[in-house]
Amino acid sequence: MTSVSVVDSAAPLLDVRGLRKFFPIAKGVFRRIVGHVRAVDDVSFTVREGETLGLVGESGCGKTTASRCILRAIDPTSGQVLYRTRGNEVVDLAPMSRAQLAPLRRDIQMIFQDPFGSLNPRMTLFDNVGEPLLVNGVRRRRERMDRVAELLRLVGLRPEFMHRFPHAFSGGQRQRIGIARALATNPRLVVADEPVSALDVSVQAQVLNLLLELQSSLRLTFVFVAHDLSVVRHISDRVAVMYVGQLVELAPTAAVFARPRHPYTAALMRAVPVPDPRVSGADAVLIGEVPSPASPPSGCYFHPRCRFVEERCRREAPVLRELIPGHFARCHLAEQLTLGGGGETG
Amino acid sequence: MPPIHTATSADSNTGEPLLRVRDLRVSFKLDEGMVRAVDGVSFDVFPGQVVGIVGESGCGKSVTMKAILQLIEPPGRITSGEILYRQGPDEAIDLSRLPPRGQTMRALRGADIALIPQEPMAAFSPVHTVGEQIVEAIMLHGRQRYGRSINRHDARAITVDLFRDVGISIPEQRIDAYSWQLSGGLRQRAMIAMALSCKPRLLIADEPTTAIDVTTQAQILALLRELQRKYDTAIIFITHDLGVIAQMANYVVVMYLGRVMEEGPVDEIFHTPRHPYTRALLRSIPSMQGETRTALPIIKGTLPHPFNRPSGCPFHPRCDDVMPERCTKAVPVLHSVGQRRAVSCFLHSELAEPA
């Protein structure tokens, strides 16, 4: 059962505050910097231990960039990425050097989208899955073999597969291998970037079940990046919706899907094709395209596509506000609008 | 005729089918052995109807599409079956017998039968403007499809109109853009314009929205529905997304390992599925209403390797209703179980393929 957000007294495992990542746009012979792509622009959220935060949005909304900043695969422009260590000490990952990060790397791991591109085709499963162990100081081969066997069993693969190469496995099996590798170092926080979007329907269900199982048995915390709302709804405790680099809504899953408070979230939900021919989605079309994060519109970034737009929305940029405890939205009209979930029309 | 369950009026179409695929088989002869990619597929496409072919990777849906367009490359080969395309009231040609590079097939392909590919980025040439590529197609097929030869100037005017039709703003400018200058949604719209440029009677859409975002997908699907109504084109819509199929198709063909498991009107497939595979597939998708964070019902096991086809019914190792004596030994025939409804499962018919 999901408890609808009783305020957790314990400090969150991850606390992202005012995260920004700007990419410079260079022009001309001298590569003069003429502007910035504001890929992630002032994003703040927390992730509690053992929960799953779903991060959703269309391509180019900054969800992947934000997740890479948390992993410090790229360096944030500004902001804090506060992480509570095993010793209950809160550290800021954002300004850390490589050397300082090294001991924390094993705590925060990643599952990738593409099960074909993310495994080295020239390395056996033992080497693919065991490499993080080697990097983290498990030097004895015997010990690594035992651990890899254990990991493969954990993700539902036979330990004998260890000496085979990735090409011998299907997409779903490869995603299991990728999960085993992410779990090799006993992480606490796992960032999964579209882990099931490249998989077939039946395989997707298997991998989602596996992730839920592993989460409860290993007490993992997930940041689950995805664009498929039905998948996000299924797996997440809370959902964060991004649009053009900003968070536009953040709330417990049940609350968002019962009553979204931002018109963009509602539009995103209506755009999901319903697997039932009796439910028509014909009129559920959001017009226009996502604006470029290099030159976003004035006021609310969503106003050119919003059907509730008012004069104020064109001029004044809304802030992310807490409407009811735990439910945040970035919309001037959040209180007035009655937005529905999947079924709303008109 | 009594009104049967119909999603749209197109279902009650009782005319002659535009395309009739009968027992189509396509094999790829590889060093490791023979892969039967399509293994006895039959379905009809009526004028103005949207037929959805749904299945997971390796089920043969794309190979079926390629066979219809005669785009199977060696070592692949159509080994048997018929693809009857009705050109006129009493005139049907079997596309599977036509030489792939012959005059007739080349005249049909891209004109009578057009394709919307999955990846418009890969389908457009990056060194020509999108407009040029569409103009070229119109000039090539002009005499046949427009009844007169069309010069470059006219073709350009037609293209601008098409761009407007598919919802591309400022078409006069966009026509001179290169594919890589357009966003994913616009590129797919341009691709649709190209597919429609020669007024096709049959449009094959191969996962046309798989690579794009949900909101753009909703726009493209709405556009396809609107154009389909306007031009009354028949569409074969190939996808793995059951949501998209439910929203787009009148008639659904469910495939697994090169065989048709079940086919029928969309409402019946989704509300009274007969084949265990269809039922399992529908159960395994996370819904927007159901309980969250619980285990989803899954289809046990994995998709077999193409060289390791199971004996008997291809789905039997993963089937919840398997009858060990029967299903492992014989292959069920796709058997009619009502008007425009067929299932290949021993639960519904005893008929087996000849051994």
What string of DSSP letters covers A23-49? Answer: EEEEETTTTEEEEEEEEEEEEEEEE-T
Domains contained in chain A, CATH given: 14-107+188-201+217-329 (3.40.50.300), 117-186 (no CATH)
Lowest pLDDT segment from A335-344, B16-25, B211-220: A335-344
The pLDDT confidence band at residue A339, using thresholds 50, 70 and 90, is confident
Alpha-carbon gap: A281 to the closest alpha carbon of chain B (Å): 7
Average pLDDT over residues B157-180: 92
pLDDT digit string, tens, across residues A27-54: 888 888 888 999 999 999 999 999 999 9
Sort out which chain A residues have CB atoms less than 8 A from B222's CB and list them: 282, 285
Burial (0-12, 13-18, 19+ Cβ within 10 Å), A231: buried
Residue A345 confidence (pLDDT) above 80? no
Phi first, then psi, for residue A223 (nearest 5°) are -110, 115
Q: How far is CA B97 from CA B79, B109, B283, B289, in A?
A: 10, 15, 40, 49
A225 at interface of B, judged by CB pairs closer than 8 A: no
Give the mean model confidence (pLDDT) for residues A311-334. Answer: 95
Per-residue pLDDT at B85 = 96
Strands of the sheet containing B113-116, edge to edge, are B113-116, B202-206, B234-239, B50-54, B251-256, B259-265, B342-343, B335-336
Residue numbers in B near A114 (CB within 8 A): none
Q: Would an 8 Å CB–CB cutoff place A293 in contact with chain B? A: no
Q: Is the pLDDT of residue B282 over 90?
A: yes
State whether residue A312 is helix, strand or coil: helix
Q: Please check whether residue B293 touches A, CB under 8 A.
A: yes
pLDDT of A92 > 90? The answer is yes
Using a CB-CB distance cutoff of 8 angstroms, which residues of chain A are in contact with residue B246? 273-277, 279
CB contact under 8 A, B284 and A204: yes
Tell me the average pLDDT across B94-109.
93
- Residues of A with Cβ-Cβ distance to B298 under 8 angstroms: 202, 205-206, 209
Q: Write down how long chain B is.
A: 355
* A285 contacts chain B (CB < 8 A): yes
B305 pLDDT band, cuts 50/70/90, is confident
B270 touches A at CB < 8 Å: yes
Asked whether the beta carbons of residue A272 and residue B56 sit closer than 8 angstroms, the reply is no
Interface contact B296, partner A, CB < 8 A: yes
pLDDT band per the 50, 70, 90 thresholds, residue A1: very low
Q: Before B75, cis peptide (omega within 30)?
A: yes
Cβ-proximal residues to B290 (8 Å cutoff; 6+ apart), any chain: A234
The domain ranges of chain B are: 121-199
- As a whole number of angstroms, the distance between CA B216 and CA B188 comes to 10
Q: Which residue of B has its CA nearest to A258?
A: B289
**Residue whose pair of structure tokens reads 């086809």 in the numeric block:** B309
In B191-320, at which residue ranges do the beta strands (DSSP E only) sit?
202-206, 234-239, 251-256, 259-265
Contact B286 A231 (CB under 8 A): yes
Question: What is the separation, in whole angstroms, between the first and last Cα of chain B?
Answer: 39
The DSSP code for A304 is: G
Averaged pLDDT, B175-202: 91
Q: What is the DSSP letter of B301?
A: S
Interface check for A326 against chain B (CB to CB < 8 A): the answer is no
Q: What angle do CA B342, B345, B347 make, to 5 degrees?
A: 110
Residues of A whose CB is below 8 A from B210: none
Instruction: Give all strands of the β-sheet with A78-84 in edge-to-edge order.
Output: A32-47, A14-27, A78-84, A90-92
Average pLDDT, chain B: 90
Q: Are the CB atoms for A193 and A64 separated by under 8 Å?
A: yes
Question: Does the distance separating the beta carbons of B243 and A201 come in below 8 Å?
Answer: no
User: Alpha-carbon distance A141 to B286, whole Å?
Assistant: 41
Would you call A70 an interface residue with chain B, using a CB distance cutoff of 8 Å? no
Is the Cβ pair A268, B243 closer than 8 Å? Answer: no
Taking the CA of residue A145 and the nearest CA in chain B, the distance in Å comes to 26
Q: Which of B216, B285, B293 sits opposite A201 (nearest CB)?
A: B285
> Is B169 at the interface with chain A, CB within 8 A?
no
The span from the CA of B241 to the CA of B212, in Å, is: 13
Cβ of B227 under 8 Å from any chain A Cβ? no
Residue labelled with tokens 């966003």: B183
pLDDT by residue (tens digit) across A162-220? 999 999 888 889 999 999 999 999 999 999 999 998 888 889 999 999 999 999 999 99
| 8 A C-beta contact, residue B348 and residue B335 | yes
User: What is the average per-residue pLDDT within A136-149?
Assistant: 93
pLDDT band at B169 (very low <50, low <70, confident <90, very high): confident
Buried b (16+ CB within 10 A) or exposed e, A200-226: bbbbbbbbbbbbbebbeeeebbbbbbb
> Within an 8 Å CB–CB cutoff, is residue A170 touching chain B?
yes
Task: Lowest mean pLDDT of A138-142, A285-289, B101-105, B291-295, name the range.
Answer: A285-289
Smallest Cβ–Cβ distance between B56 and the set A202, A208, A231 belongs to A202
Question: CB of A294 within 8 Å of any CB in chain B?
Answer: no
Which DSSP state fits A243? E
Residue from B215, B225, B269 whose CB has the most chain A CBs within 10 Å, to mutate: B215
Q: From B282, which residue of chain A is nearest by alpha-carbon distance?
A: A275
Q: Do A274 and B288 touch (CB under 8 A)?
A: yes
| Both tokens assigned to B16 | 């002659």
Chain B residues lying within 8 Å of A236, measured CB to CB = 292
- What average pLDDT does range B15-23 have in this prediction? 93
Nearest-Cα distance to chain B for A43, in Å, is: 22
Closest CB to A234: pick one of B186, B219, B292: B292
**Closest chain A residue to B242, measured at CA:** A275
Asked whether the predicted pLDDT for residue A344 surpasses 60, the reply is: no
Strands (DSSP E) found in A85-196: 90-92, 108-111, 189-193
- CB-CB under 8 Å, A273 with B292: no
Query: In the prediction, which pLDDT does B254 show?
Result: 97
The predicted structure's pLDDT at residue A202: 86
CB within 8 Å: B285 and A208 = no
Cβ separation of A234 and B225 shorter than 8 Å?
no
- Pick from B184, B213, B266: which is nearest to A277 by CB? B266
Quick: pLDDT tens for A250-300.
Answer: 999 999 999 999 999 999 998 889 899 998 865 667 888 888 888 899 999
Mutate to test the interface with A, among B214, B261, B291 (most CBs of A within 10 A): B214
- pLDDT value at position B179? 92
B246 touches chain A (CB under 8 A): yes
Taking only the tens place, the pLDDT of each residue in B121-154 is 888 999 999 999 999 999 999 888 888 888 999 9
Contact A286 B218 (CB under 8 A): yes
pLDDT of A106: 92
Q: What is the pLDDT of residues A288-304, one digit of tens each?
A: 888 888 889 999 999 99
What integer pLDDT is reported at residue A10 of this predicted model? Answer: 65
As a whole number of angstroms, the distance between CA B87 and CA B143 comes to 16
Q: How sure is the predictor about A124, in pLDDT bands with cuts at 50, 70 and 90?
A: very high
- Name, in order, each residue with C-beta under 8 angstroms of B283's C-beta and a sequence gap of 6 or more: B296, B297
ipTM of the complex in this document: 0.85
Q: Is the pLDDT reported for residue B35 higher than 60?
A: yes
